[in-house]
A and B are shown apart, each in its own frame.
Chain A
Amino acid sequence: MTDIAAAAAVPQISPAADARLMLAAAARWRWWEFAVWIAALAAIVVFPRNLLLLNEIAILALFALSLDLILGFAGIVSLGHAAFFGVGAYAAGLLGKFGYGDPFLGLAAAAAVAAVLGFATSFLLLRGSDLTRLMVTLGIALMLLELANREAWLTGGADGLQGVTIGPVLGLFDFDLSGRTAYLYSLGVLFVLFLLARRIIHSPFGLSLRAVKQNPLRARAIGISVAVRLVAIYTLSAAFAGVAGALSAQTTQYVSLEVFDFIRSADVMLVLVLGGVGYLYGGIFGALIFKLMQDYLSAITPQYWQFWIGLVLVILVLAGRERIGAQLTRLFAPLLRWRRA
């Protein structure tokens, strides 16, 4: 920060100094980012009755963030991201069932198992079109669903995994019925992993992913091994999704076969598109919008609430986020000018 201030004080700056400032500016925190996290924390006090819902939102946001890492930053489409959510959930759930209930141990195990699965399956996605990738990811999630269904001795099969016992967070905070510990725990994990993701996308590695997404031919022509980068980000994304699954298993103390469900993979894509792909906050905003709409609409019309989600999605995709964004910006332009002045 001091060298930015020093550079700004000199009226004539060299192109190199200018370049440094420009790159540093890209990674700087915006005011609204602070607002998002403060609001998330403040929600505990403001909505003490809705902590279980907030917990679900935080978990879904993390799951969508994991998808954003591959879809938004590396251009890998997936219709089977629930595979990683699911193995993470079962890993943490099984640990809890067999007496290893420490929450962070469960998270680590879930991340590791999901990462191994992500690494192993990433090689199937290196070649081929978007359609191939959609089908391969979909197929893997389906296989895992049936595997979990068949191996009922371990997973509980269609009855779900019962008897999951999770110890207190850090040995201090028991999971309570109101969901207060659950929400704080999930929010904390989301925040830490978000910081990691934010760091990564603004790193040289993150920049190279964007290059690979935008033009793999040129990326190779500047010496980037496209395959290695894709394997790396897919593995990381899988680990994130595994952690989201673990949070779900730990905070509900239950795992059902639905963790692998196709609907879950489709929903997370929907959530990410609702919130916007490729700027890291899409998962958070999308999860918020999705869950609030679900909560509100399903109270009014329990059977048909997805109609409205579908409508919003269609409008958003057809009208284009940029155009809607531009309208909003114009609406708020006087306010922004006032803030700058």
Chain B
Amino acid sequence: MTVALETRNLVKRFGGLVATDDVSIAFQKGVRYALIGPNGAGKTTLINLLTGVLRPTGGAVILEGADITGMAPHRRVQNGLARTFQINQLFPEMTPLQTVGLAVSERQGHGREWWRLAGGKREVIDEAAAILERFGLTDVMGAETKVLPYGKQRLLEIAVAIACRPRVLLLDEPAAGVPEEERHEILDIVGGLPDDVTILLIEHDMDLVFSFAQRIAVLVNGGLFMEGAAKDIAADPRVREVYLGEGGHG
């Protein structure tokens, strides 16, 4: 098995607070992971370190064998590491078609072309249209994103990341805030993502975690508490104590 993404002794301190405490973990290619842990365990900080939004205090991030610790966020995306956000980060006054089309066009390297009208490249449009169709967004592709129902915006959030054609995808609570009746749509999409993509899912919803993940990593107080096969983690009494017990509050 090859390692897709890896951290080595990763540390992040904010003043006196240790948000990420010596985390060394390897994500194998094509495997679905879930990252769980109580609130304040450092999940989001870890994601921000992986994607380059934050610089670590110490340690390294390795993407497909290459050290990307100091690499700018947009360069990491170009190198196959994409993400979604816990709170929607979309372009409110652009349409889903423009949003996904832009992501595809950037990935294909047309982003700096100023002499050509957007929408002129067949390979961009075809791929964007296919992604929108797969995510059930074809009906609304011409509407401004800000007027879309929340569930559709959530789908677009994932669709944009997929348009970057990542080899490693970080999903930060994809179903957060989605009403119960629209949840299955998100779950189906997440479950149906391509097999060769390594996925790291951060999620509070245990049903989603156990239906999705092959392996689970548990973070507690910024440190890696445990990492293992999903069924072993589910059965582990210590995990039940630190995480599932506390999860009852949220």
Known contacts A15-B138, A217-B89; is-contact A222 B103 (Cβ 8 Å): yes
Known contacts A22-B141, A215-B91, A220-B77; is-contact A203 B103 (Cβ 8 Å): no
CB neighbours of B89 from chain A (8 A): 215, 217-218, 221
B218 on the A face (CB < 8 A): no
B97 on the A face (CB < 8 A): yes
Known contacts A19-B125, A218-B160, A220-B77; is-contact A211 B115 (Cβ 8 Å): no
12 residue pairs bridging A and B, Cβ less than 8 Å apart: A15-B129, A20-B125, A22-B142, A23-B118, A203-B114, A204-B118, A207-B98, A210-B91, A211-B102, A214-B94, A217-B85, A218-B85
B78 on the A face (CB < 8 A): yes
Cross-chain contact A221 with B73 (CB below 8 angstroms): yes
Cross-chain contact B133 with A15 (CB below 8 angstroms): yes
Closest B residue to A16 using CB positions: B129
* Nearest CB in chain A: distance from B200 CB, A: 15
B241 on the A face (CB < 8 A): no
Interface residues of B in 105-126 (CB under 8 A from A): 105-107, 110-119, 125-126
List 5 extra interface pairs beyond A14-B129, A24-B119, A206-B114, CB under 8 A.
A19-B141, A202-B118, A211-B99, A224-B74, A224-B106
Cross-chain contact A211 with B114 (CB below 8 angstroms): no
* Nearest CB in chain B: distance from A238 CB, A: 16
CB neighbours of A18 from chain B (8 A): 129, 138, 141
Cross-chain contact B97 with A208 (CB below 8 angstroms): no
Cross-chain contact B51 with A205 (CB below 8 angstroms): no
Which one of B72, B83, B97 lies within 8 Å of A19 (CB-CB)? B97
Cross-chain contact B102 with A222 (CB below 8 angstroms): yes
Cross-chain contact A23 with B129 (CB below 8 angstroms): no
Task: Give the interface of B toward A (CB within 8 A).
Answer: 51, 53, 72-75, 77-78, 82-83, 85, 89-95, 97-99, 101-103, 105-107, 110-119, 125-126, 128-130, 132-133, 138, 141-142, 160-161, 163-164
CB neighbours of A14 from chain B (8 A): 129
C-beta contact mask, A264-305 vs B, less than 8 Å → 1, else 0?
A: 000000000000000000000000000000000000000000
* Nearest CB in chain B: distance from A10 CB, A: 16
* Nearest CB in chain A: distance from B39 CB, A: 22
C-beta contact mask, A14-35 vs B, less than 8 Å → 1, else 0?
A: 1110111011101100000000
Closest A residue to B104 using CB positions: A222
Cross-chain contact B116 with A204 (CB below 8 angstroms): yes
A199 on the B face (CB < 8 A): yes
Closest B residue to A23 using CB positions: B119
* Nearest CB in chain A: distance from B134 CB, A: 11
Closest B residue to A223 using CB positions: B77
A226 on the B face (CB < 8 A): yes
CB neighbours of B110 from chain A (8 A): 204
A249 to B128, CA, bound (A): 48
A132 on the B face (CB < 8 A): no
Interface residues of A in 100-129 (CB under 8 A from B): none
Known contacts A16-B129, A20-B119, A206-B114; is-contact A223 B106 (Cβ 8 Å): yes
Cross-chain contact A203 with B125 (CB below 8 angstroms): no
Cross-chain contact A205 with B111 (CB below 8 angstroms): yes
CB neighbours of B77 from chain A (8 A): 220-223
A184 on the B face (CB < 8 A): no
A24 to B120, CA, bound (A): 8
CB neighbours of B94 from chain A (8 A): 207, 210-211, 214
CB neighbours of A203 from chain B (8 A): 113-118
